[in-house]
Structure 1
Amino acid sequence: MTALKKNIKILVVEDDSDTLALIQHFLKDTGHEIITSRRGDEAYEVVRDMQPELAIIDGLIPGIHGFELCQKIKDDPGIAKKPKIILMSSVYTAQKYKFEVAEFKPDAFMTKPFSKNDLLLKITSLIT
């Protein structure tokens, strides 16, 4: 397996404290800078200001809905360095939703629950 780039910025947008802590735990030994946000509107400003290389976004977050946040980031010409985006959802898990999610332009989609291995493989496929 190809190694991840070193020292990238990863934004994690998750309003559930347990899930946020789990993702942070999974990523703690990767050597990357982990930035967190619990709201979509705040996360949008973080992307504009800090330019992370990757954003892991929950689909249902306060502020701007996670799916809308993804599309807003991808469509904003003012964001020169667009992050790769993984959208996550525990609600939209049926196969039919995977096609609907594509309309919001994520680079990847994951359903919850997820394993550490699945998350790291998804990240590796986007960042290498």
Structure 2
Amino acid sequence: MDLDGDGALSMYELEYFYEEQCQKLDNMAIEPLPFEDCLCQMLDLRCKLTNVFFDTFFNIEKYLDHEQKDQFSILRDSEGESPEVSDWEKYAAEEYDILVAEEAATVALNSPY
């Protein structure tokens, strides 16, 4: 999400990804939340709710689930210790494995041996 590579997510970068979600919502005849309101919600999230943060910008179905779910139940769910791996953690692990494999293949192709 760090489009300019400065190591931080700016409001402009978040808005860039949120605009795509808004287009999807418009196509579904759902009025999107104004970006400023969405940003306030994201800034209020606790660290254990990173899946909600990324779903907001990348996964429209889960975003809608979060929007329709009682916010207090989300907080309650996040406070309990769960040995279960979240969908986001599974996705991140899979993407990391793919990235490592691609880099290994690139190194192997560029190796003089």
TM-score scaled to structure 2, two decimals? 0.30
Q: Which has the higher helix share?
A: 2
Higher relative contact order (CA 8 A, sep 6+): 1
Task: Mark the structure with the bigger radius of gyration.
Answer: 2
TM-score scaled to structure 1, two decimals? 0.27
Q: Which has the higher strand share?
A: 1
